[in-house]
């Protein structure tokens, strides 16, 4: 009989022992976060558990097809749960409002694949070698021998696909393709998922893309590319923060670029940065750590207080130092 990792057996033991669950994800949820949350929620419901699913922020338009049963809700204060499970969330702070509403619980589980995870729960299953949290949930379901229905297959395939750049990123492993193949075999609707996630954009996003191509900047050696998204850009295009997902890939794809950066103005003196690296010698998670953020070696982010100009100078300087050290 195959021996499974002790942490997975422990999590399954906790799940069997408890009845009421709350599954929480990070602020500004992406496809991996939502797919992991809802995939796990449906599996727990099928096991007779009472499940609540909370996110601090609303579901982005392109992922609304995943929430077909309306399970994802806004957090409510005063609720009580046997067990809270956080998926795809590197730190407690990243839970946002959901973190404030899950205090009344017996046990807290943290399932994640970020190398920067702070291990903030009672039980922490952190596996950075997995490119997505969806693959961890898939493994959990397989070991538990819970049925992977068509709706669950849709959710987990979306989770895995979106966090691997549709199986293109360098962190994609052979096992990732095996998981994707089995989920398609179990009924994941590939055509529907690809259409909703990759081939359907609002006009506002197209306008943002026009802004990106006309305004992005390159360092003199063309190894760093960046652009700004100011509040006025959102107002002018009619776009929302959700529409920015994946925009960074357009400048990351410029051939000489090694590190791409997006500066998004949240408030006059608060900027969200997103970094992407094309080199395994430049770890953008380490760069973002300098500013109180984190993530993966090839994709990370942070929130930085200060004027836009000082923020840009500090971040570009940190990227230049990392590039110099990588030579």
Dump pLDDT digits (tens) for 190-208. Answer: 999 999 998 888 899 999 9
The answer to whether position 75 is within a domain reads yes
Position 2 scores a pLDDT of: 55
Q: How many CB atoms lie within 10 A of CB 85?
A: 30
Kindly state the percentage of the chain with pLDDT values over 70: 99
CA distance 170 to 187: 26
Element (H, E) at 166: none
Q: Are 315 and 304 in contact (CB under 8 A)?
A: yes
Q: What is the spatial distance between Cα 251 and Cα 34, in angstroms, rounded to a whole number?
A: 26
Same-domain status, 161 and 264: no
247 & 105 share domain: no
Q: Over range 275-284, report the average pLDDT.
A: 95
Same domain, 66 and 116: yes
Tens of pLDDT, residue by residue over 3-45, are 678 999 999 999 999 999 999 999 999 999 999 999 999 999 9
If asked whether residues 28 and 68 sit together in one domain, one would say: yes
Q: What is the pLDDT of residue 3?
A: 61
Q: Is the pLDDT of residue 314 over 60?
A: yes
What value, to the nearest 5°, has the Cα angle with vertex 186 and ends 185 and 187?
A: 90
User: Are 143 and 224 in the same domain?
Assistant: no
Domain presence at residue 1: no
In the DSSP assignment, the letter for residue 3 is P
In a domain, 219, yes or no: yes
Residues 132 and 239 placed together within one structural domain of the fold: no
Q: Is 274 domain-assigned?
A: yes
**Separation CA 233–CA 6 (nearest Å):** 49
Same domain, 119 and 268: no
Which residue segment(s) compose the domain that 129 sits in? 6-198
More confident residue, 2 or 238: 238
Residue 1 in this model has a pLDDT that exceeds 70: no
Inside any domain, residue 163:
yes
DSSP code string of 197-219 = HHS---HHHHHHHHHHHHH-EE-
- The residue with tokens 């929302």 is 240
Q: How confident is the model at residue 279 (pLDDT cuts 50, 70, 90)?
A: very high
Q: What is the total count of domains within the chain?
A: 2
**Top mean-pLDDT range of 196-200, 223-227, 297-301:** 223-227
The band of 168, judged by pLDDT with boundaries at 50, 70 and 90, is: confident
Q: Name the β-bridge partners of 259.
A: 224, 277
79 DSSP assignment: -
Whole-angstrom Cα distance, residue 205 to residue 238?
9
Q: How many CB atoms neighbour CB 11 within 10 A?
A: 21
Indicate whether 171 pLDDT > 90. no
Q: How far apart are CA 81 and CA 18, in angstroms?
A: 9
Whichever domain contains 96, its CATH number is: 3.90.1640.10
Q: For residue 311, is pLDDT > 90?
A: yes
Mean pLDDT of 276-294: 94
Q: Is the domain of 181 the same as that of 242?
A: no
Q: What is the pLDDT of residue 83?
A: 98
| Two structure tokens written together for 124 | 């922490």
Pair 227, 146 in one domain: no
Compute CA distances 15 → 53, 106, 107, 134, 166, whole Å. Answer: 16, 12, 10, 18, 31
Residues 38 and 123 in one domain: yes
Co-location of 57 and 72 in the same domain: yes
pTM for the model: 0.89
Which among 168, 198, 228 is the end of a domain?
A: 198
From 162, 182, 198, the end of a domain falls on: 198
């Amino acid at each position: 009989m195959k021996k499974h990792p002790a942490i997975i057996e422990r999590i399954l033991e906790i799940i069997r022992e408890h009845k009421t669950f709350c599954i929480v994800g990070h602020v500004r949820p992406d496809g991996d976060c939502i797919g992991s949350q809802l995939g796990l929620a449906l599996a727990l419901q099928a096991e007779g558990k009472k499940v609540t699913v909370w996110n601090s922020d609303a579901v982005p338009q392109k992922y609304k097809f995943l929430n077909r049963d309306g399970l994802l809700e806004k957090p409510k204060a005063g609720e009580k749960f046997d067990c809270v499970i956080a998926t795809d969330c590197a730190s407690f702070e990243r839970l946002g409002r959901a973190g404030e509403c899950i205090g009344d619980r017996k046990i807290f589980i943290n399932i994640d694949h970020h190398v920067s995870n702070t291990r903030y729960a009672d039980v922490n299953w952190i596996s950075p070698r997995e490119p997505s949290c969806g693959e961890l949930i898939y493994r959990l379901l397989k070991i538990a021998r819970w049925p992977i229905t068509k709706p669950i297959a849709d959710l987990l395939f979306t989770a895995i696909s979106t966090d691997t750049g549709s199986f293109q990123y360098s962190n994609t492993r052979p096992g990732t393709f095996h998981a994707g193949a089995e989920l398609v075999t179990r009924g994941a609707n590939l055509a529907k998922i690809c259409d909703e996630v990759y081939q359907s954009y609002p006009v506002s996003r197209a306008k943002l893309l026009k802004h990106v191509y006309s305004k992005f900047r390159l360092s003199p050696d063309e190894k760093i590319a960046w652009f700004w998204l100011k509040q006025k850009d959102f107002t002018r295009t009619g776009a929302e923060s959700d529409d920015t997902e994946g925009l960074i890939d357009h400048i990351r794809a410029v051939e000489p670029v090694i590190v791409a950066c997006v500066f998004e103005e949240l408030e006059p003196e608060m900027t969200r940065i997103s970094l992407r690296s094309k080199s395994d010698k430049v770890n953008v998670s380490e760069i973002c750590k300098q500013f109180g953020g984190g993530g993966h070696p090839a994709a990370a982010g942070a929130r930085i207080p200060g004027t836009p100009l000082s923020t840009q100078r500090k971040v570009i300087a940190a990227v230049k130092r990392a590039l110099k050290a990588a030579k």
